[in-house]
Amino acid sequence: MTKRTSPYCEKNQQPILEHLFQHFKDVKHVLEIGSGTGQHAVFFAKQLPHLIWHTSDMTENHANIDAWLGESELDNVVSPVAFTLGQDPFPNVAVDAVFTANTTHIMQPQEAQQMMELVAANLPAGGVFCQYGPMTVNGEFTTDSNREFDANLKSRGLGGIRDIEQLKQWASGMELIHMHPMPANNFLLVWGK
């Protein structure tokens, strides 16, 4: 099959990796929520060979993820499990970290809340959750382009950009320990449990 690619993955993976080197240095197993094309899984697993990267996504994306994984020939990345918020239980994978990129603003608010609650409930003590994407801060957009992006998302029936304070309320049991400003008006939020 012809693999789908995401230009956003190609642009953001190196800046994200620079922080994952630090935050995932003692991690053994990572669950990626919303693996999308599979590009992030391959890139990060190759650069972080000390850990096992577990992929997950809606079933319709599994073939593309597996195509990326198969071509990579990496032995520290695992084929996706089905995980659609509101439909599937949290993946039955023993992990000490969770990663998600560019998913929270796609989800409906109740799905984003459920993700935060499930991660908080399923991470072990000492676990870490890295969450990448656009966010508002204290109810304010960080740029006009993010305000326009939010309006565009909502016009397409998607959930829209979430506020960091709202995510904190939903993440009961986790603490926001780092908030890294990232290129393209995004953040990498690092939560600890």
pLDDT for 9 beyond 90: no
Q: Where are the domains of the chain?
A: 7-192
pTM of this structure? 0.96
Q: If pLDDT is split at 50, 70 and 90, which confidence band does 6 have?
A: confident
Predicted pLDDT of residue 169: 97
Matching residue, tokens 């400003």: 181
We find that the CATH architecture of domain 7-192 is: 3-Layer(aba) Sandwich (3.40)
pLDDT category at 12 given cuts 50, 70, 90 is confident
Q: Pick from 78, 101, 81: which is nearest to 28 by CA?
A: 78
CB proximity list for 142: less than 8 A, separation 6 or greater: 134, 135, 136, 185
Percentage with pLDDT > 70 across the chain? 98
- pLDDT (0 to 100) of residue 95: 96
The pLDDT score that the predictor gives to residue 10 is: 74
DSSP the chain: -PPP--HHHHHHHHHHHHHHHHHTTT-SEEEEE--TTSHHHHHHHHH-TTSEEEEEE-GGGHHHHHHHHHHHT-SSEEEEEE--TTTSPPP----SEEEEES-TTTS-HHHHHHHHHHHHHHSPTT-EEEEEE--BBTTB-SSHHHHHHHHHHHHTT---PPBHHHHHHH-TT-EEEEEEEEGGGEEEEEEE-
Q: Which of 6-15, 17-26, 147-156 has the lowest mean pLDDT?
A: 6-15
Strand order of the sheet with strand 186-192? 77-82, 52-57, 29-33, 97-101, 128-133, 186-192, 175-182
Tell which phi-psi region holds residue 31, choosing left (phi > 0), alpha (psi between -120 and 50) or beta. beta
56 close to 91: Cβ distance less than 8 angstroms: yes
22-81, pLDDT tens digit by residue?
999 999 999 999 999 999 999 999 999 999 999 999 999 999 999 999 999 999 999 999
Nearest CA among 122, 112, 95, 76 for reference residue 189? 112
How sure is the predictor about 86, in pLDDT bands with cuts at 50, 70 and 90?
confident
Percent of the chain's residues with pLDDT above 90: 90
Is residue 124 scored above 80 in pLDDT? yes
Q: What is the mean pLDDT of residues 146-161?
A: 94
| pLDDT range class, residue 1, cuts 50, 70, 90 | low
Summary mean pLDDT of the chain: 94
Whole-number pLDDT of residue 166: 97
